[in-house]
Amino acid sequence: LSNIIREQGKQSLYETVRVTSAMCAALAEAHGLGIVHRDLKPQNILFGSVGATKLPKLADFGIAKWSADTEDSGQRAEDTAIVAGQKLAMYSPSWAAPEQLAGQPVSAATDIYSLACVAVYMLSTKAIFADEDVYAGYKKRRHADELVREALRPHNVPRGVMDLLAHALMFDPKKR
């Protein structure tokens, strides 16, 4: 998906709904099994072709975890790794939900948040939380409603779509 947007620019509302609907179906399957993806971003949405139709596929469950994990059993994927003496996030902060950035428990709502970020990106080519400073990006997430509307208004995205995405990007995962 990242290559498509880089080459073609913003996507139509129809294409955005088509891709996000497929991602919702994939996430419903994963969440039904108790799996949280934790790294949903444009680079992890791939396309297979059947004739002229491009079928979106959710890829890279490398840092996925069982949502039922309540303690580190040594078998779940970690959120961070030490590389060359530096602690690095194993997920992509630009697309991550606030609870993930804060090191709090993740849930299906975490993936919904990331998917909403992807949908805004598809409709506007703007990654609304792409900050070099993770703390600044975390603070911006408290104002996601304004950022969604600011990114989408110039593209004549219907208000109902903006409202839906703003709801999916609520700071509190219980409200998404």
Report the catalytic residues.
39
The three-state secondary structure class of 12 is: coil
Alpha helices in 90-174 (DSSP H): 98-101, 108-124, 134-140, 144-152, 159-168
What sign has the CA pseudo-torsion 140, 142, 146, 147? positive
Backbone dihedral region for residue 163 (phi beyond 0: left; psi -120 to 50: alpha; all else: beta): alpha
Q: What span, in angstroms and rounded, lies between the C-alpha atoms of 61 and 4?
A: 21
d(CA 96, CA 22): 20
